[in-house]
Structure 1
Amino acid sequence: MSSVLGIHGVRNYKAADTTPDIGSKRLRTDWLEALGSRVPGLELETAYYADLLRSERQSDELDEAELVLVEQWARAWGVDPNGVQGRATGWLRWICGQVAERSGQRPAVVEKMVRTLFPEVARYFGPGRAAVRGRVRAALLRQRPDVVIAHSLGSIVAYETLHELTDELDVKLLLTLGSPLALPHAVFPRLDPAPRDGTGTKPPGVRRWMNLSDVGDFVAVPKGQLACAFPGVEELPEISIAPVWPHGVLDYLRHRSVPEAITAGLRAE
């Protein structure tokens, strides 16, 4: 049996998740169904932290810290956020429309992602970081996985927490999906440990790190730059997982590249 720990990204809080265990079991069921039986002998668990980053805010309007992240993300797509003045809804929609043109997506889909992703990222880098990392650290030490699969914001959490556990784990494969780890200004310089001279590091307790992204994934930017920012990362060829929502973890898990990467990582010595 090979032990796998999944670390989720944004958009994972459900009202029915009244405890972390319930949320983790729900995610585990979904992930197992998506992976199917293509990698036999997997013992999968998931680390759940979505409840720690949920907002009580009634409106979906972004606050100033979140809008700053949007600006930095837009620049990574080559969009000048000063193309429209002000910070009203029209400004956000204009930026999302510009990114949609560059990514081949519908503006409404991009705007939905922005309104979902950046509030959780801002809360993680703000008051939620310690609690989220504590939750994931406990899952890593309990599971002691051979493989860690980390999606979206979860790749940031995995990266930081695995660096904490340098001498306590031996992870054969870290597989990141739709990762924003290399996103300049918004994510990369905020990482802990901080990059040195513009370069991040592979967690010492990880033998092999592979990264996979959809060609239209508007979160995984700059395209193809994660291996440049983190030497030792193997950038797998870009894939297409879903034309409507190219950032969903279940669509990533259903793609043949994921079981292929897991199998290759488990075989590596």
Structure 2
Amino acid sequence: MTTIVGVHGIAQQYRSEVALARVWRDELHGGLQLALREGRDTSTALDPAFALAFYGNVFRRTVKSTTSAELLDAADLTEPEQDFLLQLWAETAAVDPAVPPPAPSYKTMGLARTAAAQRALLALSRSRFFGPRAGARLPSVLRQVSRYFDDLDIRLSAREAVEREVTEDTRVLVGHSLGSAVAYEALCANPQWNISTFITLGSPLGIPHVIFHRLWPEPGSQGLGQRPGSIRSWVNIADRRDPVALVKKLDGLFAGPPVHDVLVDNGPTEHDVKPYLSAVETGRAVLSALGDSEVGER
């Protein structure tokens, strides 16, 4: 009887599934409450059945397999990973005055590209979002994105985590960060699902080459991504300063009906899932999908 399924984002391998699900459920409940109050409806019971598709464990290394590969720097990154890092630098510098902007020629090749990536890590260590540990943490985070797209076992295991939670009663699928790519691919692989609304939060789906062109299924001959599953509505919510949602507008990138792009203000934690879930804009999207009467019945 699961009505809403959430798919978490990157770097959650050391979190408890139970604790993370509790955070998602509580914050989503807050967004729903705001949406109901906005509609002056104080009588409807708010308790839609929620489940979290947890796949963080597939990225967690065992003691036996742990190597120095966990401790990466800019020189260890692949070209696509360095490209993603340089894009993050440019995007973050545009919205955070503490981050020095890259030079116009920052997209270089070879050793110069690696040097630019190293400068990016130093610059991002000054940002409010990435913080002083950017140099130690960001390369491993970028590698997790690569592992998802390059390692078939990881990719399929993440998708299976979504498939385990979706039931015949599921109407809404919510994906945050990398979880929006996992959710998208699960939807495309299961067109028989009854899910009517797809909600993406802080999504990197539109980033060319790094994400968009590596999706399953691949974009078609017209350069458009496939419309996922049987959904009737797709709401994409992004904080205007979120450096992970580099492409804030997904409308026009995917075939089918328009994607409804919505900008929000998450305060100082622009990519954190909690302010995304508790936003009234997210609550509106869920209520629109379920209808007030259906929410009250569950």
Q: Does residue 1:71 correspond to 2:83, yes or no?
A: yes
Q: How far apart are 1:237 and its partner, in Å?
A: 2.9
Aligned residue number for residue 180 of structure 1: 204
User: Distance in 2 between the 1:7 and 1:32 partners?
Assistant: 12
Aligned residue number for residue 20 of structure 1: none
User: Distance in 1 between the 2:59 and 2:11 partners?
Assistant: 10
Q: Does residue 1:28 correspond to 2:21, yes or no?
A: yes
Q: Deviations over 1:162-221 (max 9, x none)?
A: 111112x11121100011111001011111000012101221321211100001110112
Runs (5+) with no aligned partner, structure 1: 18-22
User: Distance in 2 between the 1:52 and 1:212 partners?
Assistant: 27
Q: CA RMSD in A?
A: 3.1
User: Distance in 2 between the 1:172 and 1:124 partners?
Assistant: 26
Q: Is the 8 A contact 2:74 2:117 kept in 1?
A: no
Q: Deviations over 1:3-29 (max 9, x none)?
A: 1001001121226x4xxxxx1x22221
1:157-176 equivalences in 2 (<5 Å): 157-167=182-192, 169-176=193-200
Q: Does residue 1:262 correspond to 2:283, yes or no?
A: no
Aligned residue number for residue 111 of structure 1: 134
Q: 1:2 to 1:54 in 2, by over 3 A?
A: closer
Q: 1:130 to 1:2 in 2, by over 3 A?
A: closer
Aligned residue number for residue 6 of structure 1: 6
Does the residue aligned with 1:251 lie in a helix, a strand or coil? Answer: helix
AA partner of residue 135 (structure 1): A
Q: Is the 8 A contact 1:70 1:114 kept in 2?
A: no
Q: Is the 8 A contact 1:3 1:44 kept in 2?
A: yes
AA partner of residue 229 (structure 1): L
Q: How far apart are 1:82 and its partner, in Å?
A: 2.1
1:15-54 equivalences in 2 (<5 Å): 17=16, 23=17, 25-39=18-32, 40-54=46-60
TM-score under structure 1 length normalisation: 0.81
Count matched residues: 254
User: Distance in 1 between the 2:133 and 2:107 partners?
Assistant: 15
Q: 112, 125, 139: which one pairs with 2:165?
A: 139
Q: Is the 8 A contact 2:184 2:228 kept in 1?
A: yes
TM-score under structure 2 length normalisation: 0.74
User: Distance in 1 between the 2:266 and 2:132 partners?
Assistant: 15
User: Distance in 1 between the 2:107 and 2:215 partners?
Assistant: 24
Identity %: 24
Q: 1:37 to 1:72 in 2, by over 3 A?
A: closer
Q: Does residue 1:206 correspond to 2:218, yes or no?
A: no
Does the residue aligned with 2:158 lie in a helix, a strand or coil? Answer: helix
Q: Deviations over 1:59-115 (max 9, x none)?
A: 143574555223145358586332995466x633523577799xx856637937743
User: Distance in 2 between the 1:180 and 1:106 partners?
Assistant: 16
Does the residue aligned with 2:266 lie in a helix, a strand or coil? Answer: coil
Q: 1:2 to 1:99 in 2, by over 3 A?
A: same
User: Distance in 2 between the 1:97 and 1:105 partners?
Assistant: 13
Determine which structure has more spread, i.e. the larger CA radius of gyration.
2
User: Distance in 2 between the 1:38 and 1:63 partners?
Assistant: 42
Does the residue aligned with 1:241 lie in a helix, a strand or coil? Answer: coil
Q: Is the 8 A contact 1:5 1:143 kept in 2?
A: no
Runs (5+) with no aligned partner, structure 2: 33-45, 92-101, 293-298
Q: 1:263 to 1:97 in 2, by over 3 A?
A: farther
Does the residue aligned with 1:150 lie in a helix, a strand or coil? Answer: strand
User: Distance in 2 between the 1:261 and 1:109 partners?
Assistant: 35
Q: 1:262 to 1:97 in 2, by over 3 A?
A: farther
Q: 1:229 to 1:31 in 2, by over 3 A?
A: same
Q: 1:82 to 1:59 in 2, by over 3 A?
A: same
